Structure 1
Amino acid sequence: MKKVIIAAAALAALTSAVSAQETVRIGTEGAYAPWNFVNDDGALAGFEIDLGNAICEHAGLTCEFVQNEWDSIIPNLLAGNYDVIMAGMSITPERDETIDFTQDYFPPDPSNFAAPAGSSYDFDALSGLRIGVQGNTIQAAHAEENFGADNTIVAFSTFDQSVADLAAGNVDVVLADGSSLDPVVANSGGALEFIGPDILIGGGVGAGLREDDDDLEETFNAALDALKADGTVDALIAEWFDGQGPYYSE
């Protein structure tokens, strides 16, 4: 009981420090289902929208989401246009040189190739393919480093554009997070399928913050600790990712 009281007091102190600032603004892409997207009513929705709201409610914060294109999502955080990034962003050493991250709220997610059904390629010696990726992602960097010499890497502004060009035959395969490709392949009516090996790139997914926002980072981490322990994070993962998990609660 004493530990619970101390933890609650610590969270209250952190929340009080953060509450002194204006509304906490959370930047998200709004184009990366099921992580974050714009629904039929024109509102932001998805796993990270629900999780961000849960974090803010638990911490007693007033929060609002700000939609921002992926390519400029880190520069606009650094420019002060919002305070936190929740946009399906994997924690990597390269990004950690520029921004800080909370603890992960989704474990490392294998990346996969999707291709038209019936496609067959030798993934030990890929050559002559047009490989679609979303620009400035860990998959884009991996594709350039490992396949760029013998293939054409086609970078798109959004994940949806890469999938649309795959369906149109403008690229041969798309490399992306398996969690985002899962519903695309499942809803393709058999037109698309996964091919090749799982590829582990980067760590889990976390929220990005400016390096000097220590109080806000600690507040988000304390809320994530509690929401993992009470099953909220796993429940949202199961809801948005077709029953995956549990990963964080017993």
Structure 2
Amino acid sequence: MKKLALTLGVLALTATASMAQTVRMGTEGAYPPFNFINDKGEVDGFERELGDELCKRAELTCEWVTTDWDSIIPNLTAGNYDTIIAGMSITEERAKVISFTQNYTPPAASAYVATAGDANLNAVIAAQTGTIQAGHVAETGATLVEFATPDETIAAVRNGEADAVFADKDFLAPIVAESGGALMFVGEDVLLGGGVGMGLRQSDTELRGKFDAAIGTMKADGTLNVLIEKWFGPESPKF
């Protein structure tokens, strides 16, 4: 009897372990405060903390994977990871290729930053490749120069290669604050997209449902707003 009970216990543990689905969370690791690599070489930031909590609520085992932004959707569809959680705004164009959860940040402002207050926003504007900001600049009639990483867009403004950079204001704000007056916001803020959500393969409806439900519980109990304020400040848009 004891042997039978032990055997059944082992089987139960094995079954439980096999039920714990491992999900690979794809992120860029280069877009603070959404996501970045900390001094320990680990993925950190708002989306790391959010993603870990979502996985906990969804009873999933999650592993973090970093990838370049310009290949982040192709790598998802190719199966190199299972989700995108990388400051990706929900847009109709992207939704033709991948599916999205509900948003985990509300639509937020994009902004221009330059080295002078009289910068010409109809001249040369830097933006990261494949972003909604790059698409917006292209529609304004300004000359768009695209870069693979957000850091390169800032460097282009500093070295005079571009008149201004256009990006998420949440990303730009600490850079402006730490520039000692060398960089400043110019022009008007612009609202783009439907907020930031997790991207998944269109076939992964069950997994999307699990994350959707987890995001919903974080909105309902207020913990999502607490995280947003922690990483983006008390004035940031909340639910």
Are positions 1:208 and 2:199 aligned together? yes
Segments of 5+ residues of structure 2 without an aligned counterpart are 1-14
Aligned to 2:131: 137
> Is residue 111–residue 201 contact of structure 1 (8 Å, CA) maintained in 2?
yes
1:130-164 deviation per Cα after TM superposition (whole angstroms, max 9, x unaligned): 210000111111111222xxx43110001111112
1:226 deviates by 0.9
Q: Distance in 2 between matches of 1:70 and 1:59?
A: 26
Decide whether aligned partners of structure 1 residues 156 and 245 sit closer, same or farther in structure 2, where only a CA change above 3 A counts.
closer
1:207-240 deviation per Cα after TM superposition (whole angstroms, max 9, x unaligned): 0001111110110011111111122211111111
Segments of 5+ residues of structure 1 without an aligned counterpart are 1-15
Any runs of at least 4 consecutive aligned residues in structure 1 with deviations exceeding 4 A, and if so which? 19-22
1:167-219 deviation per Cα after TM superposition (whole angstroms, max 9, x unaligned): 22221100001111111111111111111111122111000001111110110
Alignment identity in percent? 52
| Aligned-partner residue type, residue 224 of structure 2 | V
| TM-score between both structures, scaled by the size of structure 1 | 0.85
Select the structure of larger CA radius of gyration.
Answer: 2
Aligned to 1:111: 110
- Residues 19-30 of structure 1: matches in 2 within 5 Å? 20=19, 22-30=21-29
- Residues 65-76 of structure 1: matches in 2 within 5 Å? 65-76=64-75
> Is residue 84–residue 207 contact of structure 1 (8 Å, CA) maintained in 2?
yes
Aligned to 1:160: 151
- Residues 1-250 of structure 1: matches in 2 within 5 Å? 20=19, 22-121=21-120, 126=122, 129-147=123-141, 151-245=142-236, 247-248=238-239
Q: How many residues are matched?
A: 223
Q: Distance in 2 between matches of 1:176 and 1:208?
A: 20
Decide whether aligned partners of structure 1 residues 144 and 67 sit closer, same or farther in structure 2, where only a CA change above 3 A counts.
same
1:60 deviates by 1.2
| TM-score between both structures, scaled by the size of structure 2 | 0.89
RMSD: 1.7
